[in-house]
Structure 1
Amino acid sequence: MKKADRRLNATERRRCFRERLAEPNTIVAPGAYDALSARLVESEGFQAVYLGSYATSAARFGAPDVGLVTLEEMASHASTIVRAVDLPVICDAETGWFNAANIWKTVEAFETSGVCAIHIEDHEFGKHAQVAPRMTTTSEAAARIRAAVEARSDPNFLIIARTDALWISGSLDEVVDRLKAYSDAGADLVMPTRVSPEQVVRIREHISTPIVITDKPGVALAAEQAAGAKVVLYYGLALYAAFLGVREVLRDFARLESADAIPGVRDVVPEFEATLDYAMFAERARRYGLT
């Protein structure tokens, strides 16, 4: 628990997140892979945290992001992150796991988890792998979006429609056509992947729905902001940092055979434990006469 007695509940977070989206600034949401990394995102002052299937597959299962994570596993992992922070959590809902008639189950699971928004994509098969990709048809993907919007019980639980059309076909015209269809289906935000700032500007000439993007190598945040992106997801930032950091420390330890010889490892303990709020436990223990 935080020092202010309780965390914001899901209704409060969603309302606050919608209000933030109405402001002119771009929201930057670094990706977390677990509760601790989400806590670090919050402690560094970011306005939202993102949880993707890419990070979940890697961190929870040591597996590639190739459709292995189930709805129950993703929603459960999201719930753990929600409980660790007060930030709005944006979560990956893959293709929705179900057809339009049954996608209510996905919406229900993520609403229950406490996240503020989910994105539902049209990339049916083949992400991140050297295999032939498959796209959901525009009409089927739009039906899923419409069904998801109609299934939510909280109007501030946001549905983001993601298209990977540029990734697969390279056609910006197809991206625009799909995003128009998804916007017409009721999406609160749209998410074209792998787009440049210039392409974001061109998309905004055709649709007024706010745009979510992922960070793009070689592109500065300032350019993404100037292009008019409403939300930028840095989905792999913390995950890659953890991979690099842990590997480097373990290599140093194997070489030096002493944890004390590795700069910072011993020194970080007080800050680490402060992030986990051991002091709040001690305060509660004193308050209730346990010490």
Structure 2
Amino acid sequence: MALGISVALCTRNGARYLPAQVQSICTQEPLPREIVLSDDGSSDGSVAVVRQAIEACGVASRVALTVFENKPALGVTRNFEQAIKACRHELIALSDQDDVWHPGRLARMAACFDARPELLLLHTDARLVDGELRPLGDTLFHALEVQPGELEAIAQGRAFEVFLRRNLVTGATAMFRRSLLASALPFSDEWVHDEWLAALAAATGRVDVLPEALIDYRQHGSNQIGARRPSFADKLRKAMDTRGSKHVQRWRRAQALLERLLALQGVVPQAVLEAQRGKVAHQRFRAELPASRLARWLPVLREAASGRYARFGRGKQAIVQDLLERG
């Protein structure tokens, strides 16, 4: 028996793009059994646009619609948390308001869950398009500089090892089992919803990736979170930037995840707990580096020699950043 699918659709002033997205959802085979719409204080009639789009597709009698209208707005993570909590079916697909799903997306992803009961979360690549859906000649994974070894490690069941270094899961491409919420709720204040779900899924079960693009991912001026491959100049500019509070925030994120994993007694393997403890220690080290560039050289080189930059960060890129950032 096919698993039921819920769609968690979050909106905020997305009326311009919503008809195309809703149509792409409502022409999937199989149809999702429900759409949970959580609107974050829109002033452009986004909720009415979604209702009209569902009616126009002729599926209103077959796709249940639940609507939340937040006033005041909750923010991206809490908005998605609200929608996700209200989803009733076994598989939950996340949806941004401005993307377009390719035909067959739900069938392709749901088949993986049908065949693999151990699979908790699945994500994919995406085709990057402009505001008018014109292809930009790039994909999300290319923009993120995803390496073949990272995809291979995820496919081999070592997603947590990959996510210790960086997140590769974009919520708009993801589907997960509702059972994941037993460990993921409530979402951490320190994390974005998709990164949090990916981390908990990797720590408690199996994550996998499909390397093909199954959605069009719009890039436009109103993106909450966009994707663009950084140039060498971008990387150099970032390396020379001020340290600010980002390293402290990353330390807090790592600590928040460790605390959640420790609370899930008997669910999280000891190796995962030890790895996350190492991540916390590394992020604390980076957060506590001195303001003086000269004073950072010896401790950074020692940390590099230990291998922790390679295990818990972007390796040489992170080393250069810690040596060159302004205090």
For Structure 1 versus Structure 2, the TM-score category normalised by the shorter chain is: under 0.3
What is the TM-score of this pair, normalised by structure 1? 0.26
Instruction: Answer 1 or 2: which has greater strand percent.
Output: 2
Superposition TM-score, scaled by structure 2 size: 0.24
